[in-house]
Structures are given as C-alpha cells and as structure tokens.
Structure 1
C-alpha cells in the first residue's frame, strides 16, 4: 500500500493535476464543512464521503457526546452538511456516513475505494498510519492524504429542528427520487438515522409521473430504485432496506402494521397526515411524522424552483447533449446540419428564429411542402388524383385546411399524403444544403424522424411541450378541441422525440428562457464542431 502524507501550511495546495475519483473527509468540526468543500472540489471528482469523528483515537459511534447527546441533534448537522454541499460542491456526490455515528463499529466501510483521505486538522504520521490501517475498510492500493487548515469555530450546541428523539424499528418514506440530489439524501438519511432495524422506501412508477415537469427526462424506475439502494447501503449498511415501486401516493405505508415512522419533506406533511387517516380507518397504528426542511437552491433563477428539486435539475438539461452524437461519415462535414423536429405547437418556429439570429441558415420544410402543393408543381396533380376535387380552393390552389381535415382523421390518408410529398421535400432540402456556404444549417421539420430525413443531419434537436399546452396553443390558432386532439393523436408522443434527439428544448415558459436554452445549445455546438 502506497502512503503519502501532505501537511499544508496554506488552506489549499493541489496534490496533482488529476482529480481523484473518491475522497473521505474525516471531520472533527461539522461547522467547518463549508470552509473545507471549496478546497476539496479541486481534489475530488466523483464521490466524497464524510465521517464525523472527534479524534482519530476516538471509537467510532462516539462523536462529541457532550454535544451530540440525542438523535435529534444529528439531524441539523447532517442538514447543514448537505446544504453546504448544494452551495459549494454541486458536482460532487457527497455522502454523510451514519454507521460511525449510530454504532460502535470497528471500521469505516464504503462501497467505493478511497483514493484520498482528508483531515480537517493536523495529526502525526503515526496517528494517520494507524487510523488508515485499523479503521478504514476500503482504501485504494494507491492513495493520498491531505490535511486542510482548521478554522476557529465555537463548539456551541447546535439547536435541533425536531425535538423527537425516539428510535423506530421500521421507518418509511416515498418519492420519485429522480437524479438523487441532496434533498433526497436528507430524507433518506433521516429515515436511516432514526431506524433501529428497517427502512422501506417507495419509489414512484411511471404511471404516476404524467404531472411532473419534463417527465420525459425522468429516469427509469429501476434505475431510481438502484440509486436509492446504493446510497442507503453506503451510508448505513447495518439496516434492512426494502426498496419498492409504488403506483399510488401511499404505497405500503397504508397496509404495513409494523411501520412506526414516516419521514416527509416540509411541503408533503399533509400527505403523511392523509396516510395516517387511512391507517386509522384500517385499524393500523398511527405513524409518527418527521418533516425534513427543504434545501434552498443556491443558483435558482425563474422559472426554476427556489428549493432544490428534481424538476429544476431536469430543466437544466434543456439545451445540453442528452444522447451521444454518432459520427455519420456518409454526410459531408460541412455544412454542419442539424435537424430540428418536434410535435405541433411545440415551439419549433421560435427555436428556429433563435438559431437564425445566432448565425445558422434555416430551412423550413413546411414552406417547401406548401410550395410543392402549388399548381404546376409535381405534387399538385398527384394530390388531386389521390384526394379528389374537394381539396381545390376557388383560386385553383389546394386548400390545405380541407386537406388537413381529411388526412388527420385517417391514418391511411395521412400516409398517402406523406408518400406523395416527402420525397419532393427531401430533394429540395438536399439541393439547398449542397449549394449553401453556411457553416451551420438547421432543417426545421415536424416529420424529420418519421420521414427519415435525420439521415441528412449530423445531429437532431427537438422541441417539446406538455400535451395540455399544445392543445391550448392550437385552440388559440382557431382549431376546435377535436381538431387539436386529432392532430396530436396523429403524431408521436414527446417520449419518442426525446428518445431520438441529441438536444431537447421546452418552450413551456417565457421566450427568454427558451432563448437561454438555445444559446446554451449553440455555445456547446460551437465547441464540438470543426472550426
């Protein structure tokens, strides 16, 4: 085993140019967390474990007993740690280890091997070596040690936000747990801290997610369950965990007589009370309720939420590359072609306008298609032969409203229309690309994926809005609700567009927020395409 000790006279000194994957912070004073994280960010890339321990010689499970002399007093310390992490270490997966607080364990166990051991005050080489050899279970073959300068902090008692000091054999909580973040970790940690034997976690299945913002981005239920399981077994493996999918807001909490405590967030206390109402009706014991404080979002800006939430995290994915871009050597490298697609009334035109202002040449396939309908064009006679004289307007042109009312009622008729028009549009688009001197071309086409025109593109961008919003916008375009739903039913759902796109935009909010998404996507595009 390779051992290197670093005692720093300055607050921060880089160990190397490469960040390590996993660090372990041995913290003797929780009030220093915010002071330490700024330095740790420059050393650790992925995961930071935090173990509270007064001194290296102290037994695990005996942290500052004069201050932390009740279960409830650990809660605000854990809350403060994760709150600081949200502010100072947004890219680090921080995990406060509970085993060494709850139990007199022999060694600190972590699921990931420790590459860097960090101390918040100086110890001798002898103390450090003894600690690593006797109290750490999973240390990498090659590791480093970093000592950070302490800050003067008063060891005054921390006021708990809950006076409930009970321990419970069986605790329960539930949620979506999408992209596990610090607010989730607080809920899970509170349950694990209070549980003497078992924790049950209900994870919402897809059937319950329709009302969630950008639900198309929510991770698969199995993936979310595995993330919860991994976190809990990491912070406190001594407990029994039951991670279950749920299809309603209550899950096993309304049927399991062994449960004693439910952990909720401050905003979902009424949900816990509703569960107790149902338990009373079923002659089950009432659950104690512990509400956990919400965590402020340090970088929130409208329309994101003021508190840390999965919905805000999903909103921040807009304009980023969600699906790897595959190189298609059959397409010339220049111009760089982006296919912009999305459902009707999803905001494609607005996004096209934004990218045009940023410097892209744009091709509107709808306009090309409308031109194909004109008298003298190849499609004109074909459409009349297929759909009859009823589609001809008084001026001799094809009445697109009449044609639309026909094809959107019948899938077969829509397929006939597409079979006639799509090849002519593709030919025109290819000619425009071939003769263009632009660096970037954006093809706007609702049917881009269905028509196979994505094979002309280096990458695909898409716009989405919730169905209710799409219906509302179509009604504002003087369509009836029946017509709006008919058009929406004739196209793929949002999930299809998201699954087949590299970059996604959502125009649900104000125009400025859509512009921000497009600017983000454009800036990232400029970094990855040939100069």
Structure 2
C-alpha cells in the first residue's frame, strides 16, 4: 500500500536520482527530502561542509531537477530549516510522516532513536524503508557567484499549481533571507495573457499554496504573501527590500521594478536569477521548460471536476453535453467522438429542422421577425435572421424562447430511444438553455477571443463587428470552464485537439466500467 506522505533522509545527494527513480512506487502524495548533513544525529556521517546558506542552492537545484524527472506525480519538498539553523533539533512537517526512507543501511536501534529524537510529526503506524543509491548521477555542489544573505527578500509570480520551478524559486528566496520574505501572487486581472488562463487556480488557492509550501520548508522566517495587481506590487513602496529573485523569463520585470524604485528614491534591489529547470518529457506543443502553461495544457481532456449524479435521466445512455463558444472546435471534437463510438445529437442541426416550413417553429419565427428573414424559396434565411437577432439581446431572446423548448423536447426523445452506450449532445447554448440537466457530464471547448473572431471572419465571412456581436451573445470562456467536467482547447494543431479527445474518451471508459 502506498504511503501518503514520506520523508527521505539523504546522506549523499549524489545518489539521489537512482533513489527517486524507485520512490514513486512507494509514495502517493508528498515526499519531503531532508539532507542528513543539516541535522545532528546517531549517523550523521556526511558532515555539513557549507559555511553559508546560499551554498546549498546548487544542491537544491539538482534535487528538484531529479525530482522533475523521476517524481512527476509527487509533491516534492526539500526541507531548509535544518540546513539554515543549527538550533533546529527536530524535523517538523505540516503533514504527518507515514514512511521514512533512508538511502543506506542503519541498525534498528539507531533508526528508532532517530525517529524518536529527530522527527516531530510521525504517524503512529509509520513504516521504515531503505533504498540504496548507486553511482554518481545528480548534483555537484558548485559554489554560487553570490553568497550574500539579505534581511528582506522578495519574489513574484502566478504560482498556479505549485510546481518544481516555483519551489526552486521560493526555496532560493528563503535561503537568502535572514528575516523577512515577501511573495507577490498575481491577481486575476493580470492573467489574460497566460496560456489557458481560464484554468488558472483561484487566487485564494494560489496564495494558500505558496504559504503552505513556505511554512513547510522553512517556517522560521517572517512571510508576507500578498496579491499583486500590477508588475510592481509592494516593491514600489517598501524601502526594506534588498533582493529580488527572478527567473530568466522575469528578469526584465526585475529591472523595471528597479526603475520605478529609483524614480521614488528607494534603494535598488539586487537581482538574483535562478536557473530554469528543463521539462524532462516535453510533449507536442509544450514548452521546453517546466511551466504552469504546460501543466494547464496537460489538464486538457482530463476530468477536472467529478460528475454529479443526475436523477433526471437514466444511467444509459451516458450523456455528454458538449458545449463551447462559436468557432471553438465543437464540430471537430464531436466528429472524433463519433469515430470513437459515441452517438451525436447536433442541436444546431435539430434547430435547422425546426426552422423548416411545416415544422412547429417556422410560423412562429415568421410571425415574430417578419418575412424579410425568408429566402426566395420560402425557407428561413439563417444569415438574415442572424443579422437581426445578434444586434439586439432582446431579439435574440425572442428567438431562443421560440426554438429552445422545441429543441429540448426533441433531444430528450432521442435520448430516451437511443441504444448507444455514450451519447453526445452538442450545443453552443447548452448552459444558457439549461440543458445540462439532461447530461451526466459537461465537456467544453475554448479558444481565445481573438482567435474566435479571426475564425468567424475567415470561416463565416463576417466583419469584425459582426464576429464580436456573435461572441458577446454567448457565455464567456470562464463560465464554460467553471461549468465543465472536461475542457478542450482547439487553439493548436488538429492532431493536438484529437489527442485531447482521445485522452478524455479513454478516461471516460474507465469511469464507466
């Protein structure tokens, strides 16, 4: 059985990569790593040769680099307190330790003494395991160029779904500070330029994630973790700040911060750039460095929110509501789902049927909007009708009130008579029409607004103003994603969209077993 939380005691970090390679088979959620050189004990044979906290930087970089390669599904945290402070007598973690792992053999007596004397939060049924490392594969303790310690250090970022690169940045901020650390977390108004910003965690989650990590790895420091609504945050007025820690992609921001500080006669911040960690297993369309953008892209096609039990419809067929904005790729996705075996109900096509002469909505539409929306053969000219209704929310609502009930009735009848295992109801208006009540899950596809406008202009021959009117009449991407169990994005090559759909289908089959 996998341990939820483990503590790895490392005597020789040069062997760590080989150990981490096997740890994912033992640990489910969190792996704390403690360098034995930072604590005294019955078997501290690996002495602390460092005279300055920053000299640990390269070792910590190497540890996180190997964790990125071998422990992608674990929350890995390198503990800093014992490395910084000689008076730390016990290892304290916020999560109880279920498993302690050593990288070399020790006697049972020494292990018992160590567990009792050196670990402050051990579960009652804590287990002990030894995993030996062989050879040299990880880190050389290369002395950093700057070994200075500062009273008040600062860093900023989005910190979405705290990953290895975030942890490295935050660890460096903590290592360099003797007293205070300020971390700025970008507020929602600064997220629009981010890839798949709609999937960024809520601000409160990101603030709590940073706080939880910092209090775990080095609780002795005084932390201020605040939302920032612009590039500068508290750096534009706090004279006590001395060092800002940045990555290669944010170093320009550090220089801009110094420009504003200089204009306000505040002390210039020293800038420390942390080396980026490369993504060990980049997939198509992903960045080569570890990033939140890649993490969000990997969420596409996965189950983001568990489905709610729906008592309004039978368990079979299993109904997927596929929605999303205009030109967001719904048709391509539903086509792939059909190829995989799903039955498709295209509500747009159902609506077309309702518009035909002799159908229940035809006379009502002509009566409401006049004969100017008819073509020469007497059928409803959808382009002419669209030009009328998309100029006015009131006119659009009139049309919806006529058509939506008829479409819903037809969809429900088709669901009841279907023999399919999985049935997909494709509808752009699924949420606005409240048709989610007929579905077991909601799958949605999104694209950036600018891309949607461009597609509408190119595909439908609309002017920019007309395209903007169409988009303004629908739900926002944020509403679509908040309501969805599964999210797709068709911004990239078609093959990448198909891979998202394949992933979602495979995971669905497992849920239906």
Measure how far apart 1:406 and its partner are: 1.1
After alignment, is 145-154 or 303-312 more displaced? 145-154
**Residue 310 of structure 1 corresponds to which residue in structure 2?**
292
Answer yes or no: is the 8 Å Cα contact 2:39–2:82 preserved in 1: no
Query: Please, which of 248, 258, 279 is the counterpart of residue 240 of structure 2?
Result: 258
CA contact (8 A) 1:362 1:443 kept: yes
Are 1:61 and 1:103, in contact at CA under 8 Å, matched by a contact in 2? no
Q: Is 1:167–1:195's contact at 8 Å kept on the other side of the alignment? A: yes
Equivalent residue number for residue 231 of structure 2: 249
2:456 match: secondary structure: helix
- 1:295 aligns with 277
SS in 2 for 1:267: coil
**Which of 501, 504, 509 is the matching residue for 1:521?**
504
Say whether the 8 Å CA contact 1:61–1:102 is kept in structure 2.
no
Q: Distance in 1 between matches of 2:79 and 2:195?
A: 32
Instruction: For structure 1, list consecutive stretches of 5 or more residues without a partner in the other structure.
Output: 1-17
Spell out the pairing of 1:185-224 with structure 2 (5 A cutoff): 185-224=167-206
SS class of match (2:443): strand
Structure 2 Cα separation of the partners of residues 153 and 396 of structure 1? 80
Change (3 A) 1:119 1:269: same
TM-score, length of structure 1 as denominator length: 0.93
**2:127 match:** 144
Q: Is the 8 A contact 1:60 1:103 kept in 2?
A: no
SS in 2 for 1:463: strand
Q: What does residue 142 of structure 2 align with?
A: 159
Residues 1:336 and 2:318 aligned together: yes
Distance 2:511 2:29 in 1: 24
Q: 1:128 aligns with which of 91, 102, 111?
A: 111
Q: Distance in 1 between matches of 2:139 and 2:51?
A: 13
Matched, 1:280 2:280: no
SS at match of 1:378: coil
The 3 A distance-change label for structure 1 pair 64 and 408 is: same
Check conservation: 2:323, 2:444, Cα contact below 8 A: yes
Deviation at 1:260, TM superposition (A): 0.5
Q: Deviations over 1:242-281 (max 9, x none)?
A: 0000000111112110000000012211111111122111
Out of 84, 89, 96, the position equivalent to 1:102 is 84
Instruction: Please tell me whether the aligned partners of residues 324 and 445 of structure 2 are also in contact (alpha carbons under 8 angstroms).
Output: yes
Residue aligning to 1:480: 463
Question: Which residue in 2 is equivalent to 1:499?
Answer: 482
Q: For 1:295 and 1:114, how far apart are their aligned partners in 2?
A: 28
Q: Please give the secondary structure, in 1, of the residue aligned with 2:249.
A: helix
Distance between the aligned counterparts of 1:60 and 1:389, measured in 2? Answer: 91
Tell me, yes or no, if structure 1 residue 235 matches structure 2 residue 217.
yes
Distance of 1:176 and 1:403 partners within structure 2: 44
- Name which of 431, 456, 466 aligns with 1:449: 431
Residues 60 and 181 of structure 1: is their aligned pair in 2 closer, same or farther, counting only changes over 3 Å?
Answer: farther
- Contact in 2 for aligned 1:62/1:101 (Cα 8 Å): no
Q: Distance in 1 between matches of 2:457 and 2:262?
A: 46
Map of 2:18 onto structure 1: 35
Task: Report the Cα distance in structure 1 between the residues aligned to 2:166 and 2:57, rounded to whole angstroms.
Answer: 14
Cα distance, 1:488–1:377 mapped onto 2, change above 3 Å: same
Aligned to 2:57: 75
SS in 1 for 2:378: coil
Structure 1 residues 464 and 61, CA gap change in structure 2 (3 angstroms): farther
C-alpha distance in structure 2 between counterparts of 1:242 and 1:42, whole Å: 37
Per the TM alignment, residue 153 of structure 1 is displaced from its structure 2 partner at its CA by: 4.2
CA contact (8 A) 2:307 2:485 kept: yes
Query: What corresponds to 2:339 in structure 1?
Result: 357
> Post-superposition shift, 1:282?
1.3
Other-structure match for 2:99: 116
List per-residue Cα deviations over 1:161-204 (Å, max 9, x = no partner).
x3100000000000000000000000000000000000000000
**Structure 2 segments unaligned to the other structure (5+ residues):** none
Aligned length: 511
Residue 363 of structure 2 corresponds to residue 384 of structure 1: no
8 A contact 1:422–1:451 mirrored in 2: yes
1:510 pairs with 493, 501, 507, which one? 493
Structure-2 separation of matches of 1:522 and 1:155: 39
How big is the alpha-carbon RMSD for the aligned residues of Structure 1 and Structure 2?
1.9
CA distance in 1: counterparts of 2:274 and 2:45, whole angstroms: 24
Q: Return the offset for 1:308.
A: 0.6
Sort the Cα spacing of 1:155 and 1:186 in 2 relative to 1 into closer, same or farther, 3 A: closer
Q: Say which SS state the counterpart of residue 243 (structure 1) adopts.
A: strand
Report the counterpart of residue 403 of structure 2 in structure 1. Answer: 421
The equivalences for 1:173-184 within 5 A come to 173-184=155-166
**Alignment partner, residue 13 of structure 1:** none
Report the counterpart of residue 472 of structure 2 in structure 1: 489
Is the 1:118–1:147 contact (alpha carbons within 8 Å) kept by the matching residues of 2? yes
Task: Tell me the distance in 1 between the aligned counterparts of 2:38 and 2:285.
Answer: 45
